[in-house]
Amino acid sequence: MAVQLKFCLVGAAGAIVHRNPRSSKWDYQRLLQELESAYGPSSDHAAAVAVELRQRIRQAGEALHVFRDDIYGKVAVAYGDRSEREQDAIAVEVFTNGLGDADIIQKLLETRPSTLARAYEIAHRHETTKRAASYVTSIMQPGPRTAVVRETEAAPATPPPDPAPN
């Protein structure tokens, strides 16, 4: 099993194995220990991800699902040793604080979702209805509207007048 795991590792995790000459003698348990010390919840990497997570803010134009997925991944790395309930509480807090939209934040604070999935659902619904309401309001504004008139290629309804005889 250790051999299979070694061949599956890529990137920085693969470097732990492939660039260490002693790794050829490691059994499965030793391999897990090395990976755990490098990437486990008590590693420097996890601590760095936790700091990054707490500073995470949704970027302008960033899709809501991309923001959510990034939080899911970082919470799993930084707080993998915590219970699912604790991870969800942290994820919801980071998601809410990083949204940057007062209306959505207020809605989340009022509803107090217990999972990131539920927080995302509420925020997504709010964004969608806000966009729809904005569109409807803009087209229902009183005042002149510019209408596009298309000329038809059909024959005119009335024939042109006959030229006057001289």
- Give the tens place of pLDDT for each residue, 143-152: 665 555 555 5
CB distance 114 to 88 below 8 Å:
yes
Residues 25 and 60 in one domain: no
- Give the tens place of pLDDT for each residue, 84-112: 999 999 999 999 999 999 999 999 999 99
- Which two structure tokens, joined as six digits, stand for 12? 């920085």
SS3 state at 138: helix
Structurally, the chain folds into a number of domains equal to 2
Residues 89 and 75 in one domain: yes
Residues 50 and 23 in one domain: no
Is 116 inside a domain boundary?
yes
pLDDT of 13:
66
Is 151 inside a domain boundary?
no
Is 63 inside a domain boundary?
yes
Range of the domain at 114: 44-136
Residues 130 and 56 in one domain: yes
The segments of the chain whose pLDDT lies below 70 read 1-21, 23, 39-42, 143-166
Residues 34 and 73 in one domain: no
Residues 106 and 84 in one domain: yes
Residues 48 and 26 in one domain: no
Of the candidates 146, 138, 107, the residue with the CA atom closest to the CA atom of residue 92: 107
